[in-house]
Amino acid sequence: DVKVTQSSRYLVKRTGEKVFLECVQDMDHENMFWYRQDPGLGLRLIYFSYDVKMKEKGDIPEGYSVSREKKERFSLILESASTNQTSMYLCASTSRARSYEQYFGPGTRLTVT
Amino acid sequence: AQKITQTQPGMFVQEKEAVTLDCTYDTSDQSYGLFWYKQPSSGEMIFLIYQGSYDEQNATEGRYSLNFQKARKSANLVISASQLGDSAMYFCAMREGGSGGYNKLIFGAGTRLAVHP
């Protein structure tokens, strides 16, 4: 059974803290993605990675960075969390061979106070 | 710019009836893909169905079918014989560019479906 896992389902952080969100997939997928989901806006792409150590900005990269040191792991970093980064964060992965299907993790609901 | 529009913030349907969730898209690409995902209250995104822009037949997966009208740039999801477990948020999405590659998806705002007994 294919699996994308995220390190936390719920997270509460203070303004200014550095926040790490971890995503791990066990499907040997080349591509990994980070989205944020806000009511009325759907999902918006923050960053994606198509290979180890490679990354590309999505539509809303400001305030975020990413790291992909291993193929199975893709981390999203909030260097200095702000209240407007309170959101649901979803990680996804896909293979190049079966490119039409993205597998999603369960999501991390982050609250920044 | 590529865009997905879902004009129905909420829909409700009686159990066992069919329901259509609307999706229109805008793209200048000739090759693209359209997706529907379901998100139950638990939060995970579940892939339902995919339609490629060159596919001549409408995609079907069990009770789900995608009514693809290329000239109108619409990709509506039809759920037949609704079940209580179909109550969820539904997202339409489009893949930029052709097959392979990075497969970035653009999502619509979503439609919340409530199935009543």
CB-nearest partner of A106 from B37, B43, B102: B43
According to the model, what pLDDT value does residue A99 have? 67
According to the model, what pLDDT value does residue B96 have? 74
Distance from first CA to last CA of chain B, Å, rounded?
41
According to the model, what pLDDT value does residue A2 have? 64
Amino acid at A93: S
The mean pLDDT of A80-90, rounded to a whole number, is 97
According to the model, what pLDDT value does residue B44 have? 87
CB-nearest partner of A42 from B95, B101, B109: B109
- Give the residue from chain B lying closest to A97, CA to CA: B100
Q: Chain B contact for A42, CB < 8 A?
A: yes
Rounded Cα gap, residues A23 and B17, in angstroms: 39
C-alpha angle A42-A45-A47 in degrees, rounded to nearest 5: 160
Q: Using one digit for the tens of pLDDT, what is the confidence trace for A11-67?
A: 999 999 999 999 999 999 999 999 999 988 999 999 999 889 999 999 999 999 999
Cβ-defined contact of A31 to B95 (cutoff 8 Å): no
> Best mutation site among A6, A9, A23, A43 for testing chain B: the one with the most B CBs within 10 Å?
A43
Amino acid at A54: M
Q: Chain A contact for B43, CB < 8 A?
A: yes
Place of tokens 């892939």: B47
Q: Which residues of chain B have pLDDT under 50?
A: 98
**Phi and psi of A85, rounded to 5°?**
-100, 5
Size of interface A-B (CB pairs under 8 A): 66
Which two tokens mark A48? 């994606």
According to the model, what pLDDT value does residue A97 have? 75
